[in-house]
Amino acid sequence: MDRNDLSQHISTQYNEELEDIRSKVMAMGGLVEEQLESAVQALVEMDADTAQRVVESDYKVNAMEVELDEECTMILARRQPAAGDLRLIIAVIKTITDLERIGDEAERVARMAESMAGRAFDKGIMAEMEHMGELVQDMLHRVLDAFARLDVQEAIAVVKKDEKVDIKYDSMLRQTITYMAEDPRMIPLALNMLWAARSLERIGDRCQNIAEYILYLVKGKDVRHTHLDQVLKEMEEERGSR
Amino acid sequence: MDRNDLSQHISTQYNEELEDIRSKVMAMGGLVEEQLESAVQALVEMDADTAQRVVESDYKVNAMEVELDEECTMILARRQPAAGDLRLIIAVIKTITDLERIGDEAERVARMAESMAGRAFDKGIMAEMEHMGELVQDMLHRVLDAFARLDVQEAIAVVKKDEKVDIKYDSMLRQTITYMAEDPRMIPLALNMLWAARSLERIGDRCQNIAEYILYLVKGKDVRHTHLDQVLKEMEEERGSR
């Protein structure tokens, strides 16, 4: 085996390592998706068993984060990645932090569902909660898709969708305040519902974070704290100038 | 200049780069501390002007995060750090994310203060809020100290202190629920107070995150999601076996 073959071999193995990391991020994302889906279901159906399962499975998400974090550190130390590979590793380190926190928020939603299990709540507000849950689940699903396909357009769509979640959250908040004022005995229950809504809203924010890491990964540009309209405009200009 | 001198020179410059990153993290931490202090003051005094200043200064924290992120990426690409240096860079990348989010939470507290400016609220609950603000400010101050001095004992003290914040938060929550039930007209105001309390509680969580990165940096061990008692026991065993 001459030197050329060896470097070819090393490079192939390196590619496999990077591929392995990407597929593990997708697996972690899939698990977090399941956790979120079950948490929303537990909340809407006020079902303690489903809620309990979510709480008990959170350790799996945490374990995957620690494992991926270690793999990324190993690659940084051994492979000394540059350019796009380095951006991938940094994007992964950031993405798994947000995925892990989405898992935590899903666990919070499940804990709220558990504490409200068997109780009845205002049907209109529950319908709003269900819709908010669906919006956030769709955001998470799409941002993971965008990550898998490095799809910038999809990532931008996710960022934009977060506004819908915020609007839904505000509307739900107003209705719940009215509901509490009408029947103060319902305040503790209503607050649990608000905490759950707040967790869903934060999950939307975190999906938005991940979408921004994808833009950074693909475009090599840090778009956090900048106006998305600006990024979109620049991208269109780039396309126009090609 | 022979080769040896050159490598010495490069190494000195590299050390300076690492030192620069550490001092910038401290500067960013100092700014976030100021933001938190002003936000708590704005809340306790229901002072719109101070609140406004916090909201307007948040961009500075964001800018520092982006700058530090870029510097870390440059060092990873150019210097290919190993072992302790690599852990420092990874700890910094994670720490500045949490610092930036602490800045965001301080901004949320300030926005709540702004929306409540000039109103009066239950004195007992306000005293609890003030105490909670002090606890969280102390946590942030100490975790930044621990970062500057790479002080493991101090980092562990911060992790432990988070329990006090959680207890204070629960007590404040219960009092506020009672208050809302007694006077439903106060519900919107009381909810703003609860959101502010929630933000303070999350700041405590984020200080705990940073403390864990310090342990990772110093001990080379990922202590997230593990029981702190276990880590403490292992550390004492290590000390005993020396």
Whether residue B66 lies within 8 A of chain A, CB to CB, comes out as yes
pLDDT bucket at B4, cuts 50 / 70 / 90: very low
Residue B153 pLDDT level (bands cut at 50, 70, 90): very high
pLDDT-derived band at B28, boundaries 50, 70, 90 = very high
Q: Average pLDDT for consecutive 10-residue bins of chain A (242 residues)?
A: 51 90 96 98 94 96 93 91 89 94 96 91 92 97 95 94 92 93 92 94 95 89 66 64 54
Q: Is residue B181 within 8 Å of residue A187, measured between CB atoms?
A: yes
What's the complex ipTM?
Answer: 0.77
Distance (Å, rounded) from C-alpha B170 to C-alpha B201? Answer: 10
C-alpha distances out from residue B208 to A109, B140, B175, B211, Å: 22, 9, 26, 5
Q: Does position B227 have pLDDT exceeding 80, yes or no?
A: no
* Inter-chain CB proximity B86 and A97 less than 8 Å: no
Cα of first residue to Cα of last residue in chain B, in angstroms, is 43
The pLDDT of residue B226: 65
Comparing B72-76, B80-84, B234-238, the range with the smallest average pLDDT is B234-238
- Best to test chain B binding among A191, A192, A205, A210 (most B CBs inside 10 Å): A191
* B1 interface with A at CB cutoff 8 Å: no
The pLDDT value given to residue A207: 97
* Residues whose CB falls within 8 Å of the CB of residue A152, separated by 6 or more in sequence, listed in order: A146, A214, A215, A218, A219, A235
Report which residue type is found at B110.
Answer: A
Confidence at residue A99, expressed as pLDDT on a 0 to 100 scale? 97
Closest CA to A187 of B122, B198, B123, B194: B194
Kindly determine whether residue B83 and residue A70, on different chains, have CB atoms separated by under 8 Å: no
- If one counts the domains in chain B, the total is 1
CA distance, residue A109 to nearest chain B CA (Å): 15
Q: For residue A100, give the chain B residue with the closest CA.
A: B225
What are B196-217's pLDDT values in tens digits? 999 999 999 999 999 999 998 8
Most B-contacting residue of A28, A62, A73, A210 (CB-CB within 10 A), to test interface: A73
pLDDT digits (tens, 9 = 90+) for B61-77: 999 999 999 999 999 98
The CATH number of the domain where B89 resides is what? 1.20.58.220
Helices B187-219, B3-44: axis angle to 10 degrees equals 160
SS3 content of chain A, % helix, strand, coil (to 5): 90, 0, 10
Within 10 angstroms of residue A37's Cβ, the number of other Cβ atoms is: 18
| CA distance, residue A102 to nearest chain B CA (Å) | 14
Give the residue numbers spanning the domain of A26.
Answer: 3-241
Residue B222: pLDDT band with limits 50, 70, 90: low
State the pLDDT at residue A3: 46
pLDDT tens digits for B30-70? 999 999 999 999 999 999 999 999 999 999 999 999 999 99
Q: Establish if A227 touches chain B: CB-CB under 8 angstroms.
A: no
Q: What is the pLDDT of residues B98-114, one digit of tens each?
A: 999 999 999 999 999 99
For the CA atoms of B139, B145, B149, B151, the dihedral, rounded to the nearest 10 degrees, stands at -20
Q: What is the dihedral of CA A220, A221, A222, A228, to 10 degrees?
A: -130
Does B198 sit within 8 Å of A198, measured CB to CB?
Answer: yes
Residues in Cβ contact with B194 at an 8 Å cutoff, skipping those fewer than 6 apart: A191, B173, B176
Nearest-angstrom CA–CA distance, B204 and B164: 10
* Cα separations in angstroms, B11 against B5, B7, B179: 10, 6, 62
> In this complex, how many residue pairs, one in chain A and one in chain B, have their CB atoms less than 8 Å apart?
74
